[in-house]
Chain A
């Protein structure tokens, strides 16, 4: 488990993290959402032991990370802009990491190198941004980490690569108990992979929720009446209501069956339950919490 307790980090006069706390369960895929400058990369780097927080603690398996090689052997950070050494190729970087990660597995490396076709002997300074990310993802898995930290890892990857990466992540989580933390500013990227989402805003976690809980909490209904429009059933926790002519779209929070039953009693000529995207559910959640999503996400 990763425990982040009251972490504070400042850069000159700017407070990047202001008392952040969260718990990331083992075997989960945690999506860290936030706009640019929210503190996602900073938090990931602190979890990876790259920098020390100014306040608070970060524990992995109840041990501090910073300057602790035994813990850091189990953690791998893929930064948003990975650095490679000099004129090295993927093969050179693999040899580099193999020296310092005792669990480095050449079989896994070769398997993934075949699966994500990259010329292992070609110099990385000739690669595109996406290819460099691919290389570091391959290297990350080859070190057999228990904790994988991905900073904007899907950026620059094509749809096929994203899907493939998502599959690998899912496989490893299920088979090896890998814990993944993915930082992104794009909710759609996280929707297919994560099981928990936390929103980072102005150095703090705004809220944290399981994706299923997020989706299950809100429901969208579309219905229409042949004659007139009776009042809405009482007791509904209506979050959003939109009318387009005679078509009514209702977003309500609560048990879906109860809401359906209540609406049927009003005898609509047409009633349909529509799927709510994660983004829509997320926005609704935030508005309930009193935040304008447009000011936080884009």
Chain B
């Protein structure tokens, strides 16, 4: 007698209903917690929030913090737990005997339980969303479209399906609760963690590797794990990530089907005696152990990198971390040391693979470090950096299309590689790029990212977190004189007259922001910007990189961007900018160079004993309170009081940014309180090679107190020594 389809289907339905009824209690218990953290929170949030500030709904703002922290993780976690509820025979061999002896095809038994498990996991989530839908309709806030609520529910349920299917596959492939939990954590979390760690490892060892390219690959990252898919989608609108959520969705559709088929096949031929028994062998346990070992090992390595900056120690940390975690998992997973000898072989293979990977990276990654495209293959180049003079406050992306510019950049790039690679080899074979920096004294604070857009549509990106050698900086500087570069970087070209919301002009020595903004007609902004553009385009290499004098004025523009947000940009004006100065005169905004030398009590000229260029860019306050020693600072240090001498020094002084290191510090003393305990100075910077004659014997050596405040101390200066 052969079973009829109807009786088989009936048994599938019977088993499904029976299993759902058995698990309903647990499902509802979880549902109560979900109810509190999601629908209730939703009602509270939207009821008490000011509708004026409620933005159009996006994935992240739809959820309250509590639902993000509890509801969503609980929904995912319950997918793992429900696997143990509906498939007891994976971990309990007595249950296996009962279920496998039933007159039911194994396939139908499997699918009945699979469907029942997902029903139990999804039911409380669906109820919660339906309650939110109802509440939204009742409250009539009017800002959440019901379709958005249903779409959000759809994404959550889809993610849960992926998580659940992986959990079922793992349950079918393992024998103990511990192993099932371990492999679930591994398969769900390790891919993303390993991806991020690999980006970190490659950027630390492979010259030119840009982790940002990997980190911007949201499509790929969200395809590595269902959690990644959900989190990326939640953060998409908030972080304005550019990615297509349907790509990972399709990837996971394929993976869900794949894992389901694998789980079914494992189940059909599963030996019931495996239930409750841990095995150290097999593909899945080995891969999971390797994944966790690599992740923990790399974490150890990064810890050593960050604390010691030593490549050798960091690699030892990787081996130490991975071996310890591999050992612990084997002992715990196999519930003892009896199978330890088998794991030695597995670990040796893993360690050998790592050595091979390390060797590949250290020898250039199959030409990654040194290979560049040919000039004729390049359509466009983008370079992302702060400019050789650090005159760009943030890293700007400059696009070069002119073949001459591209050729110049390629020359620079080749020179950079030719300089850095031998240096790195000299340090040590096991060094990281961080080690390289500690051995260098010639690095400029210049860290370019170069992206070649090729004729065939491909992109090739290289990023250098190690400073460009000073000797090569001039090669890039040449590019900065091109019209294309100027138009892409100078603020005068980046804003439109209709965007400008105010302008302010300050003299070079006006440290305090006394001046307010002027609001002019649009045509005046247009004329001013046009004048600045003309002067910028006319400026040559000398004027840009070696101006005879510091800038005379500082123009600040307030403007609104396309989204209506307000921004400010500043631009220096040099004495050679005749068009700009003339326009400012016309607008009656021109300032004579302020800073009357006779208004100062005196001036100190200071020289630091160490390279405090970091403080050069950070220190902006013009107030300081020197630690006075016996006799007081004014008695002990050579104070320059002649207004003409002060004027000569002021003539070559820069404000906090713009001066090329090395510099002297010019402290212009404005006032001293009655008791001599505090002083007020304006601080400027004079490039050492521009110090006027006659001041060499009046330079005071001093040392910064690295206390993170604006206070610094003056060393006692002994004129006799």
- Tell me, yes or no, whether A binds B: yes
- B294-330: CB near A (< 8 Å → 1, else 0) gives 0000000000000000000000000000000000000
Q: Which residues of B contact A100 (CB under 8 A)?
A: 11, 14-15, 102-104
Question: Which residue of chain B has the shortest Cβ distance to A97 in the bound complex?
Answer: B102
Q: Choose from B14, B103, B271 the contact partner of A73 (Cβ within 8 Å).
A: B103
A49 touches B101 (CB 8 A): yes
Across the interface, do B101 and A50 meet the contact criterion of CB distance under 8 Å?
yes
Known: A67-B106, A86-B22, A96-B18. A50 touches B272 (CB 8 A): yes
| B101 engages A77 (CB within 8 Å) | yes
Q: Chain A nearest CB: distance from B87 CB in Å?
A: 13
Q: Encode B93-113 as 1/0 by CB contact (under 8 A) with A.
A: 011111011111110000000
Interface string of A75-116 (1 = CB under 8 A from B): 111010111011000000000100111100000000000000
The docked-state distance in angstroms from the alpha carbon of A1 to that of B105 is 22
For residue B1, CB closer than 8 A to chain A, the reply is yes
Shortest C-beta distance, B265 to chain A (Å), equals 13
Contact A99 B101 (CB under 8 A): no
CB-contacts of A65-79 with B (<8 A): 67, 69-73, 75-77, 79
Of the residues A50, A51, A70, A76, contact of B1 by C-beta under 8 Å = A70
A82 / chain B contacts, CB cutoff of 8 Å: 94, 98
**Residues of the A chain whose Cβ atoms lie less than 8 Å from the Cβ of B457:** none
| Binary contact readout A96-138 vs B (1 if CB under 8 angstroms, 0 otherwise) | 1001111000000000000000000000000000000000000
Which of A52, A83, A101 has the most chain B CB within a 10 Å cutoff?
A83
CB distance from B63 to the nearest CB of A (A): 35
Min CB distance A96 to B, Å, is 7
B336–chain A nearest beta-carbon distance, Å: 15
Which residues from chain B contact A99 at a C-beta distance below 8 Å? 11, 14-15, 18
Chain B residues numbered 1-53 whose CB sits less than 8 Å from any CB in chain A = 1-3, 7-8, 11, 14-15, 18, 22
Taking a contact as CB atoms closer than 8 A, the residue among B8, B14, B92, B106 that contacts A83 in the complex is B92
Considering only CB atoms, which chain A residue lies closest to B269 in the complex?
A52
* In the complex, chain A residues whose CB is within 8 Å of the CB of B96: 50
B residues in contact with A86, CB < 8 Å: 22
What is the total of A-B residue contacts with beta carbons within 8 Å?
Answer: 69
Say yes or no: is B543 at the interface (Cβ < 8 Å to chain A): no
Q: In the complex, A69 Cα to B94 Cα: how many Å?
A: 20
Let me know if A45 is at the binding interface, CB within 8 A. yes
Of the residues A67, A73, A79, A81, contact of B105 by C-beta under 8 Å: A67
Residues of A near B94 (CB, < 8 A) are 79, 81-83
Interchain CB contact under 8 A, B101 and A70: no
How many chain B residues touch A (CB < 8 A): the figure is 28
Q: By the criterion CB–CB under 8 Å, are B103 and A45 in contact?
A: no
Instruction: Answer whether residue A48 sits at the interface, using C-beta atoms and an 8 A cutoff.
Output: yes
Write out the residue numbers on chain B whose beta carbons fall within 8 Å of the beta carbon of A73.
103
Which B-chain residue is minimally distant from A103 (CB atoms)? B103
Q: Is the CB of A48 within 8 A of B22?
A: no
Asked if A298 lies at the interface with its beta carbon under 8 angstroms from chain B, I say no
Count of residues in A whose CB is under 8 Å from the partner chain: 27
Verify A48–B101 contact, CB threshold 8 A: yes
Enumerate chain B residues within 8 angstroms of A77, measured Cβ to Cβ. Answer: 97, 101
Interface string of B238-273 (1 = CB under 8 A from A): 000000000000000000000000000000110111
CB distance from B26 to the nearest CB of A (A): 10
Q: Tell me which residues across on chain B come within 8 A of A52, comparing CB atoms.
A: 269
CB neighbours of B100 from chain A (8 A): 49-51
Query: Is B271 in contact with A51, judged by CB distance below 8 angstroms?
Result: yes
Q: How far is the CA of A169 from the CA of B528 in the complex (A)?
A: 109
Within 226-254 of A, Cβ neighbours of B (below 8 Å) are at none
Contact A69 B11 (CB under 8 A): yes
Q: How many Å from the CB of B116 to the closest CB on chain A?
A: 13
How far does the alpha carbon of A86 sit from the alpha carbon of B96 in the complex, in Å?
Answer: 14
Contact string, A41-70, partner B, CB cutoff 8 A, digits 1/0? Answer: 000010011111000000000000001011
Q: Which residues of B contact A69 (CB under 8 A)?
A: 3, 7-8, 11, 103-105
Q: Which residue of A lies closest to B11 (CB)?
A: A100
How far apart are B359's CB and chain A's nearest CB, in angstroms?
38
Least CB distance from A65 to B in Å reads 10
Hey, which chain A residues are within 8 Å of B268, CB to CB?
Answer: 67
Q: Nearest chain B CB to A63's CB is how many angstroms away?
A: 9
Of all chain B residues, the one with the shortest Cβ separation from A88 is B22
Near A by CB (< 8 A), chain B positions 427-450 give none
User: In the complex, how many angstroms separate the beta carbon of B10 from the nearest chain A beta carbon?
Assistant: 9
Q: What are the residues of chain B within 8 A of A48 when measuring CB–CB? A: 101
B105 x A70 contact (CB < 8 A): no
Contact of B97 among A50, A70, A72, A101 (CB under 8 A): A50
* Contacting pair B7 A102 (CB below 8 A): yes
Complex: A130 Cα to B264 Cα, angstroms: 36
Which interface residue of B1, B92, B102, B272 has the most chain A CB atoms within 10 A?
B102
List 6 A-B pairs, minimum CB-CB distance, nearest first.
A83-B94, A72-B103, A73-B103, A69-B103, A99-B14, A50-B100
Q: Can you list 28 A-B contacts (CB < 8 A)?
A: A45-B97, A48-B101, A49-B101, A50-B96, A50-B97, A50-B272, A51-B271, A51-B272, A67-B268, A69-B7, A69-B8, A69-B104, A69-B105, A70-B1, A70-B2, A70-B103, A71-B103, A72-B101, A72-B104, A77-B97, A83-B92, A83-B95, A83-B97, A83-B98, A85-B22, A100-B14, A100-B15, A100-B104
Q: Interface on B for A, CB 8 Å cutoff?
A: 1-3, 7-8, 11, 14-15, 18, 22, 92, 94-98, 100-106, 268-269, 271-273
